[in-house]
């Protein structure tokens, strides 16, 4: 936080913004350090009141899903102990499954490209046959993964 921001900060609003973004309430420590340079002491009680209201808005099933799909599993800790934790956590886990599936699809696509390049450069009929078999296996796996991904995405809140 800048010196000028510290001087005019509405600590309840700052806490609310942090809570609703899923930022840990420990962020007040960095504000204390930043604002201390300007001779400003953050109002920790006002910040906490705002954060408490904001975290309720963050710890929802839809945010759990979004964070999981984005691979942000670390956000679960900010919701622990909050009233919305069970729903947030459940959908975070489901979203993480989607995230891992998307990563696997991407890795398989890269492997397919690598094998295709080897196939085009190969002179050996045996090697070409093996590479085609490997490519067919990856294609079948990609089809299976895409089908699973569609099923998983239907679980979104």
Confidence band of 3 (pLDDT split at 50, 70, 90): confident
Q: pTM for this structure?
A: 0.83
CA dist 66 and 77 (Å) reads: 15
| pLDDT tens, position by position, 137-151 | 999 999 999 999 999
Is the pLDDT at 76 greater than 90, yes or no? no
| Per-domain boundaries in the chain | 1-58
For residues 27, 30, 32, 36, the Cα torsion angle rounded to the nearest 10 degrees is -160
């Amino acid at each position: 936080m800048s010196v000028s921001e510290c001087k005019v900060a509405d600590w309840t609003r700052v806490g609310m913004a942090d809570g609703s973004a899923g930022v840990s309430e420990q962020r007040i420590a960095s504000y204390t350090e930043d604002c201390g340079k300007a001779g400003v002491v953050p109002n920790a009680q006002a910040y906490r009141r705002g954060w408490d209201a904001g975290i309720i808005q963050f710890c929802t099933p839809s945010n759990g899903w979004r964070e999981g799909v984005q691979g942000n599993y670390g956000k679960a800790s900010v919701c622990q102990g909050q009233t919305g934790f069970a729903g947030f956590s459940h959908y975070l886990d489901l979203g993480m499954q989607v995230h891992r599936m998307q990563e696997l699809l991407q890795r398989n696509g890269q492997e397919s490209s690598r094998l295709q390049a080897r196939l085009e450069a190969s002179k050996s009929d045996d090697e070409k046959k093996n590479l085609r078999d490997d490519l067919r296996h990856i294609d079948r796996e990609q089809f299976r993964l895409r089908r699973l991904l569609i099923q998983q995405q239907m679980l979104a809140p």
